Amino acid sequence: MKILNVDQIRALDQATIQHEPIAPINLMERAALAFVDWFVDRFPATTPLKIFCGLGNNGGDGLAIARLLLERDYPLEVFVVRYAPRESDDFMHNHRRLKLVTDNIRYVELSHDIPPMPHNEVVIDAILGSGLSRPAEGIVKSAIEAINRSPATVVSVDIASGLYADQPNAPEDVIVEPDYTVAFQLPKLAFLLPGNARYTGDWQTVDIQLHKRFIDKAPTPYYYTRPDEARLLLHKRDRYAHKGTFGHALLLAGSYGKIGAAVLSARACLRSGVGLLTVQVPGCGYPVLQTAVPEAMCRPDTHEHVLSGTTEVETTSPADFTTVGIGPGIGKASETLAMLKALLPTLTKPMVIDADALNLLGENRELLDQLPAGSILTPHPKEFERLTAPWQNDYEKLDRLREFARKYRVVVVLKGAHTAVATPEGDIHFNATGNPGLSTGGTGDVLTGVLTALLAQRYDPVEAAVLGVYAHGLAGDQVAEQRGQIGMTATDVVDALRWA
């Protein structure tokens, strides 16, 4: 699913109006109906409502929503926040229509016009939408502050009033903090950025049948992966397949005290369809790995406590494996850095790089040029910062992410809520699955195992990253459903991995 910027959204509305064709007022009615369909499923018709409308088209939506909810017998009052002398045409049209069915429209011009909003009420926020062009001030600001102070449940129409859809807000901006946002057709880029979590609540999109051909053609670097899109990436298994078909992966993981990371990664790799798996761990990890993961072959490093790259048991060189995954629990010992330095020039196929392998790259940036094209790097934000430089805001972080992926021709999986997968072409795919239960030690190691397995099965690296991140988050969601977020462990996530 594409994410478009505000100018594109405006052009998309126009394209729909022109090509469907549909009158603007009927498009607004369709949007209002889609909102109302969502709303009536969640809030019974006895819920007292206060609907705050601005004077633009977002306000027009609010007025249409008020009329449609009145038809469904909701007890409601409408408050028009009158901050400017001019209303939009579609606002005016809906204002006339609403006045035919209710007298309950009040005007908010001064602070004392703002009503109390008790906890049993739902507030619908239709003050400002994607047309926001400056910070909220005066009575708009006061109304937003009052909404945020109130204990009422808040639902924003299209986007929280005061939040820019595709550019950073200033720290002092006053923005509605909704419980829910119901956005029309496409998510806004702002919804996917951690700094905006307070300003989106639980957000959803509702279909208002905007012009599909325009969306298909619109250029954008930003995508939001829907479950159906992710599932399409899954390779079907050939009936005559054998384990060679699914590749032989080498995982380089673990150090003294962190052999668990190797175990988690190895288990996840095996649960994600790898044909054969060899794990190289420091000598001390050998009995652990052989016992905990009997399905994997294990080659002990000659170094007892850290990876040095040398091993006596096996002579197959890392380059002969279908792919290599490196990082979980490896630490930053000088022997391990030496291994990384020796390893990189020998590899040509895409590999997976995580955790301290990333930190070693951050401290030895000349190595970045040696990464095989199409490799997948899986930093959390702190690790990504160590690879680049600090950023001022989430938008700058996205720019940096795209720049980095393009420069080094790699796929960067920036982990967190809505993990962002940046491609060597400079696109970003945001993930839809996952929950804060995944914020627990070892879940990143699980992801490394998953991605290594997909590369071993010869998935295209971008598809491997998008699919792997999706499946990992989905497993987390399934665990959360069964035992809640708080009790979740990385092992649970491995066990919940499902590929269908």
CA 177 – CA 46 distance, rounded (Å): 24
* Residue 134 among known ligand-binding residues: yes
* Residue 112 among known ligand-binding residues: no
DSSP string, 328-371: TT----HHHHHHHHHHGGG--S--EE-HHHHHHHHHSGGGGGGS
Beta-sheet strands, E only, within 17-92: 49-53, 76-81
Stretch touching ligand NAX by CB under 6 A, among 49-57, 195-203, 262-270, 284-292 = 49-57
Asked whether position 187 contacts ligand NAX by CB under 6 A, the answer is no
CA 118 – CA 390 distance, rounded (Å): 42
Return the ∠ at Cα 254 (arms to 250 and 255), rounded to 5°.
140
Binder among 309, 444, 449, 468 for ligand ADP (CB under 6 A): 444
Name which of 473, 447, 440 is nearest 378 in CA terms.
447
Asked whether position 200 contacts K ion by CB under 5 A, the answer is no
Indicate if the alpha-carbon torsion angle 393, 397, 399, 403 is positive or negative.
Answer: positive
Asked whether position 6 contacts ligand ADP by CB under 6 A, the answer is no
Asked whether position 35 contacts ligand NAX by CB under 6 A, the answer is no
Per-residue string for binding with ligand NAX, 123-162, x by CB under 6 A?
-----xxxxxxxxx---x----------------xxx---
Stretch touching K ion by CB under 5 A, among 69-77, 151-159, 308-316, 437-445 = 151-159
Q: Provide, rounded to whole angstroms, the least separation between the CB of residue 353 and K ion.
A: 42
Return the ∠ at Cα 106 (arms to 136 and 45), rounded to 5°.
100
* Residue 331 among known ligand-binding residues: no
CA 499 – CA 80 distance, rounded (Å): 50
* Residue 247 among known ligand-binding residues: no
Q: At what angle do helices 443-456 and 355-363 cross, to 10 degrees?
A: 90
Applying CB under 6 A, what is the total number of residues that bind ligand ADP? Answer: 18
Q: Which residues contact 482 (CB under 8 A, 6 or more apart)?
A: 496
Which positions from 51 through 80 interact with K ion, judged by CB under 5 A? Answer: 58
Asked whether position 169 contacts ligand NAX by CB under 6 A, the answer is no
| Nearest residue (CB) to ligand ADP, 147 versus 438 | 438
Contact between 293 and 259 (Cβ < 8 Å):
no
* Residue 132 among known ligand-binding residues: yes
Binder among 67, 188, 415, 429 for ligand ADP (CB under 6 A): 415
Asked whether position 181 contacts K ion by CB under 5 A, the answer is no
Which positions from 411 through 430 interact with ligand NAX, judged by CB under 6 A? Answer: none
Name which of 55, 191, 219, 211 is nearest 132 in CA terms.
55
Stretch touching ligand ADP by CB under 6 A, among 123-131, 231-239, 389-397, 413-421 = 413-421
Strands 411-414 and 428-430: unpaired
| Nearest residue (CB) to ligand NAX, 130 versus 205 | 130
* Residue 130 among known ligand-binding residues: yes
Contact between 368 and 408 (Cβ < 8 Å):
yes
Residue 492: contacted member of ligand ADP, K ion, ligand NAX, none (CB under 5 to 8 Å, by partner type): none
Residue with tokens 């400017």: 84
Beta-sheet strands, E only, within 423-485: 428-430
Residue 156: contacted member of ligand ADP, K ion, ligand NAX, none (CB under 5 to 8 Å, by partner type): K ion
Binder among 28, 144, 186, 361 for ligand NAX (CB under 6 A): 28
Q: Which residues bind to ligand NAX, rule: CB under 6 A?
A: 13, 24, 27-28, 31, 54, 56-59, 61, 83-84, 88, 128-136, 140, 157-159, 184
By the criterion CB under 5 A, which residues form the site for K ion? 58, 125, 156-157, 161
Residues binding ligand ADP (CB under 6 A): 355, 380, 415-417, 419, 434-436, 438-439, 441-445, 447, 472
